[in-house]
Amino acid sequence: MFAFAIRRLIQAAGVMLVVALISFLMFRFVGDPVNQLVGVDTTPEQRAQLREDLGLNDPVYVQFARFVGKAARFDFGISYQIKQPVAQLIASRLPATLELSFVSAIFALLVGLPMGVYTGLYRDTLLSRLFLAISLVGISLPTFLIGILLIFIFSVNLGWLPSFGRGETVSIGGFWTTGLLTRSGLVSLILPAITLGLFQMTLIMRLVRGEMLEVLRTDYIKFARARGLSRRAINFGHALKNTLVPVITITGLQIGSIIAFSIITETVFQWPGMGLLFLQAVQNVDIPIMAAYLLLIAFLFTLINFIVDLLYVAVDPRIRLGGTAG
C-alpha cells in the first residue's frame, strides 16, 4: 500500500514537471515578456538591463530550473497587467472557485448517484423515463445556456435567487473567504452550483445506471439472489459497490474539470473566482497568471487522480494485491 502510494507520487511529480515545462514555454513563445512590461519610451539600454534582471539571458535550462524552483514555493512572479504577485491574486480568487466547484460536485454526486441507482433498478417506470429525459437536457444543453435559463427563470421571472456575485463573505483565518456561512452567500451559490454541476450530475447518473445494469446481470448478483439476500443487501451492498470503481474515476476527473472549466459559469454569474481572473489574463496576454493557472489546474488534477488511485485500492481488493491474484 505504502509502496503503491510512493510509486503514484513519483508519477505525479513527473506529470507536474512536464506541465511546468509547457507553462514555462509560454513565456518564451507567447511574445517577448520585456515588451509586455515596458512602455514605448523605454530605451534599449533599459530593456537590456530588464532582460538581465529577469534572467532572460541565462541558458534555457537554468531559466527552467529557476521557474520550477520558484513555482514549488508558489512564487509565480508579478502579473504584467495588475502588477501584483500572481500567487496573491490567485490566493484571493481560489476560495470562490473551490467553494463553487465542491458544492457543485457534491450536488452532482448526491443527486446523480441515487438517480442512477434508481433508473438502473427500475428501468421502465415513468420516473426513470423522466430522469433520463432530464439527463438528456443536462448533457446536451451548453453550460452558459443553462446558466442564462436559470437566471431568466429564478432571478428575472420569479425573483427568488440572485443572478450574480457571491453575496456576503466571511474571512476565515485571514486567507480564506467563504460564502458558505452567510445566508446571502448560500443563496448566491445555488444557481451557479446547479449550472456547473448539472452536466456532471447527468454524467454520473448515466454512468451509474449503465454500470448498475451491467452488474445486475452478473452471476454473483444472481447467486446473491439465490442465497436469499434482501433486496437492499443485493442492490446497495453487492451491486452498487461493484459500480464504484468507474464512478470514482469519472467523478474524480470531473471534479478536476469542474474547477478548470468553471470559467464559463463564473463569467455568466460574474463569480469572482479564478476563471474570471484567467479570462482577463488571456485578454491581456498576462503570461504569469496564465502559467500559474495552468500549473495550478494540473496540480489539482494530479492531486485528485492520486486520491482516486488510493480510493480504488480501498474499494477493490484486486487492485490492492496487484499481481498476487491467482
Partner 1 sequence: MTPTLSVRNLRVEIPTRHGALTAIDDLSFDIAPGEVLGVVGESGAGKSITGSAIIGLLDPPGRVAGGEILLGSQRIDNLSPAAMRGIRGNRIGMIFQDPLTSLNPLYRIGDQLTETILTHERLSPKAAADKAERLLIEVGIPAAGARLSSYPHQFSGGMRQRVVIALALAADPELIIADEPTTALDVSVQAQIIALLKRLCRDRGTSVMLITHDMGVIAETADRVCVLYAGRLAEIGAVRNVVKHPQHPYTRGLMAAIPSLIGDPDEKLEQIPGSMPRLGAIPDGCAFNPRCTFRFDRCPAERPGIYETSASRASCFLLDPTGKPPPAETAARAVAAGIEVRAVPAGASL
Q: Work out how close the CB of 229 gets to partner 1 at its nearest, in angstroms, rounded to a whole number.
A: 6
89 or 207: whose CB is closer to partner 1?
A: 207
Binding-site ranges for partner 1 (CB under 8 A): 218-220, 222-231, 233, 237-238, 241-242, 315-318, 321, 324-326
Residue that has been written with the C-alpha cell 482577463 in this structure: 280
Q: Work out how close the CB of 325 gets to partner 1 at its nearest, in angstroms, rounded to a whole number.
A: 5
62 or 310: whose CB is closer to partner 1?
A: 310
84 or 230: whose CB is closer to partner 1?
A: 230
Q: Could you tell me if 247 and 208 are in contact, meaning their C-beta atoms sit under 8 angstroms apart?
A: yes
Q: How far apart are the C-alpha atoms of 153 and 318, rounded to whole Å?
A: 49
Tell me which H or E stretch contains 176. Answer: strand 176-178
Q: Work out how close the CB of 219 gets to partner 1 at its nearest, in angstroms, rounded to a whole number.
A: 4
53 or 219: whose CB is closer to partner 1?
A: 219
Residues forming a β-bridge with 177: 171
Q: How far apart are the C-alpha atoms of 294 and 273, rounded to whole Å?
A: 15
Residues forming a β-bridge with 78: 85
Q: How far apart are the C-alpha atoms of 51 and 214, rounded to whole Å?
A: 61
Q: Work out how close the CB of 326 gets to partner 1 at its nearest, in angstroms, rounded to a whole number.
A: 6
Nearest to 202 by CA among 123, 264, 109, 120: 109
7 or 225: whose CB is closer to partner 1?
A: 225
Q: Work out how close the CB of 319 gets to partner 1 at its nearest, in angstroms, rounded to a whole number.
A: 11
Residues forming a β-bridge with 178: 170
Nearest to 4 by CA among 325, 319, 324: 319
Q: How far apart are the C-alpha atoms of 207 and 108, rounded to whole Å?
A: 12
18 or 226: whose CB is closer to partner 1?
A: 226
Q: Work out how close the CB of 128 gets to partner 1 at its nearest, in angstroms, rounded to a whole number.
A: 16
